[in-house]
Structure 1
Amino acid sequence: MRFFSAVLGLCALLAHAPAYAEAPSDPLSWLGRIASASQRLNYVGTFVYQSGDHVETSRIAHRVDASGEYERLEVLDGSPREIIRRGNEVRCVLPDERTVIIDQASGRRAFPARLPASLNGLAESYRIRKGEVGRVAGYEAQAVVLEPRDDLRYGHTLWAEMQSGLLLKSRTVDEHGGLIEQFSFSDLRIGGDVGMDLLESRFTPDDDWRMVNARGNDMPRSEIGWGLAQALPGYSLSSVMRRPLGRDRGQAVHMVFSDGLAAISVFIEPIGDGSSVGLGPVSNGAINIYKRTVNGHLVTALGEAPERAVRLIGDNIQAVQQ
């Protein structure tokens, strides 16, 4: 009985003690913690993605040491897929297709790295506030709510682990509050050693596999040759590069417009066979796609943003004089 009394007394003391004195009080500081935690921490976990009737489970292992950042993400449902990251190189392994796609890491990656390193101007497009403290995957989590100021972006709620700031859960909603997509850890270990065995691919490509180099080359903005006839409020050009289209197909111009959270990519490529297929808007979960032809080129705009925003970007792309 003394043991149980002591335990109950300790629980009572902990219940009345401040949970984490170092936790920031303002929501912008919480967003900064979320943005950095996914890159500077070691963690291993399982998370679930939900969009409409589609549910998918993935396993992720992430490690940071003096030599850089390492990550392996494996989709556990359906066809096997892996994303292997080594520093600035990302490899998408598709064993059923016997293909490896090689690309470079972008500023914003998959869950839990949902936020970019720079959050400048975010408050101009979203009303940001702290939500309630809850529990996700066994951890105390602080909710941060981002409400869009217009209909050109989605709303978001982010749940960050109280001590580390690591993103535990992310929910994206439409203008009516309806769920568009959600990521949530179901099992997670933060910190400790993450062995290289957890970061290596389960598949060993041989001579029969295709190695596709999708890496682009940054290009000066003065050489783009394309621009927006009318700017979209809150969105600005954050990057531009040339990307290979494949054998004998030349290159595409890849422009990214971002408000600091939402990002819309625009691919501009010469019209080829089948370019007229699928013109107009298409929706796939949180991602909207819009295609049109202009001046002998196919323009494809896509991003995790409302259809109106993606369409406005696509319709306003035009050739500009150098």
Structure 2
Amino acid sequence: MSPASRRLTLLLLVFLMPMSISYAADESVIVKGWLQKMIKAEHSASYRGTIVYRHQNEMVVMNIVRAKSDHGMMEYLSAQNGAPGEVIRNPHYVQSLIPDSEIPLQSDNPQIVNKTEKSLHDRIDEIGYYYQLTLAEVSRIAGRASQKLVITPLDQYRYGYRMWIDQQSGVLLKSEHLAVNGEVLEQMIYSNIEVFGETIPLDVRLMLNELSDRTMPDKAFLKQQPSNSHDTQNWAVKFIPTGFELASYLRSTNPQQLPFEHIVFSDGLAAVSIFIEKQEENGAFNGVSQRGAMNAYFAENDGFQVVVVGEVPLATLELIGKSVHHTVVNNH
């Protein structure tokens, strides 16, 4: 290459470099804008449709109805294949009817119900530090134009994501969790969806209002009460990947249950839950569990059962679980 050609090449690089940096920055801003639209839809969009969930050789089909009722935003899911089951969700509780059981389980703590959505909303500007955000092509999902986003982790502690967001409503129509090697661990996709406008169909309003008025037997409530006991064990976590911050901390000393603590960390997209419960002698379990992108790590720690659950690699959960330790023991 002649000196003149080299100078021309350098000049081109000088002029093109700021343009490339500007484009990358603009792309990240655009992706965050789509994520904001998705978050807004999560809190305000009303619709009904059919969701297909796949992981490995398993497929679950669920009908979903979601709309505002007299008690706020209600969501109802019902299994259409396999074991029967249903989930009812509103801003105040999540109620799940367990197959082969007449006793539903309920959590009535809004911190648990909405922690993931709030975390992403609050930390939307930070996720670019831990993930590469890429704007991909527009395609059709369930007959609707959808913007595809590719979210790639910048370390080995997280999974990647592909998301398809409805251009009109912002509803997440398809999502995939990706392993470090690019393998699709699980997929969620709408096979059909009807997005409502300002007017909610009468049959939907009546159904959701009826569901919100359901009463629960006392024994079905799982209430987490503030602790005022000095005998309750406090716990902390020595290792947590960069970017994961404390999202919620709950402690229960319900006299009808063994004391337990629940700690949640999130990086805005992924969440890790740590459950710690006092066990009877020889009652703890050690091992791991994997189901799609959801992993769990179980360990016994000084008479307590420690369970770490999250949609992150199993190795991440093991590192976190092994770092859980006592902080304060006060028997006064």
TM-score range, shorter chain: 0.7 to 0.9
The structural deviation recorded for 1:267 is 0.6
Pair 1:296-2:303 in alignment: yes
Pair 1:71-2:75 in alignment: yes
The structural deviation recorded for 1:114 is 11
- Structure-1 residue corresponding to 2:276: 268
CA contact (8 A) 1:171 1:179 kept: yes
Corresponding residue to 1:153 among 154, 158, 162? 158
- Bigger proportion of residues as strand: 1
After TM superposition, list the pairs within 5 Å mapping 1:46-65 onto structure 2: 46-64=50-68
CA contact (8 A) 1:58 1:74 kept: yes
Describe the SS at the equivalent of 1:90.
Answer: strand
- Structure-2 residue corresponding to 1:125: 130
Q: Give the distance between the partners of 2:89 and 2:152, measured in 1 at CA.
A: 32
Residues 110-143 of structure 1, C-alpha deviation per residue, up to 9 Å, x if partnerless?
9xx7984333421121111111100000000001
The structural deviation recorded for 1:77 is 1.3
Q: Give the distance between the partners of 2:145 and 2:118, measured in 1 at CA.
A: 19
Structure 2 length normalisation: TM-score?
0.79
Corresponding residue to 2:240 among 226, 231, 235? 231
CA contact (8 A) 2:106 2:220 kept: yes
CA contact (8 A) 2:264 2:271 kept: yes
Q: Give the distance between the partners of 1:176 and 1:273, measured in 2 at CA.
A: 41
Q: Does the C-alpha gap of structure 1 residues 25 and 117 become closer, same or farther in structure 2, counting only changes over 3 Å? A: closer
- Structure-2 residue corresponding to 1:174: 179
| Structure with greater Cα Rg | 2
After TM superposition, list the pairs within 5 Å mapping 1:304-315 onto structure 2: 304-315=311-322
CA contact (8 A) 1:280 1:292 kept: yes
CA contact (8 A) 1:100 1:210 kept: no
After TM superposition, list the pairs within 5 Å mapping 1:117-266 onto structure 2: 117-120=121-124, 121-192=126-197, 193-194=200-201, 195-199=204-208, 200=210, 211-217=219-225, 225-243=234-252, 247=256, 249-266=257-274
The structural deviation recorded for 1:163 is 1.3
Residues 205-227 of structure 1, C-alpha deviation per residue, up to 9 Å, x if partnerless?
89xx784222324679xx97211
Letter in 2 for 1:282: S
Q: Does the C-alpha gap of structure 1 residues 213 and 244 become closer, same or farther in structure 2, counting only changes over 3 Å? A: farther
Q: Give the distance between the partners of 1:245 and 1:300, measured in 2 at CA.
A: 19
Corresponding residue to 2:85 among 81, 102, 113? 81
The number of equivalent residue pairs is: 291
CA contact (8 A) 1:271 1:298 kept: yes
Structure 1 length normalisation: TM-score?
0.81
The structural deviation recorded for 1:236 is 1.4
Describe the SS at the equivalent of 1:165.
Answer: coil
CA contact (8 A) 2:115 2:247 kept: no
CA contact (8 A) 1:46 1:59 kept: yes
CA contact (8 A) 2:31 2:133 kept: yes
Describe the SS at the equivalent of 1:272.
Answer: coil
Residues 83-106 of structure 1, C-alpha deviation per residue, up to 9 Å, x if partnerless?
112331221123621111111343
Q: Give the distance between the partners of 2:159 and 2:288, measured in 1 at CA.
A: 17
Q: Give the distance between the partners of 1:316 and 1:35, measured in 2 at CA.
A: 32
Share of identical aligned residues, percent?
27
- Structure-2 residue corresponding to 1:45: 49
Q: Give the distance between the partners of 2:32 and 2:102, measured in 1 at CA.
A: 44
Q: Give the distance between the partners of 2:270 and 2:45, measured in 1 at CA.
A: 24
Q: Does the C-alpha gap of structure 1 residues 186 and 246 become closer, same or farther in structure 2, counting only changes over 3 Å? A: farther
The structural deviation recorded for 1:251 is 2.4
Q: Give the distance between the partners of 1:67 and 1:205, measured in 2 at CA.
A: 14
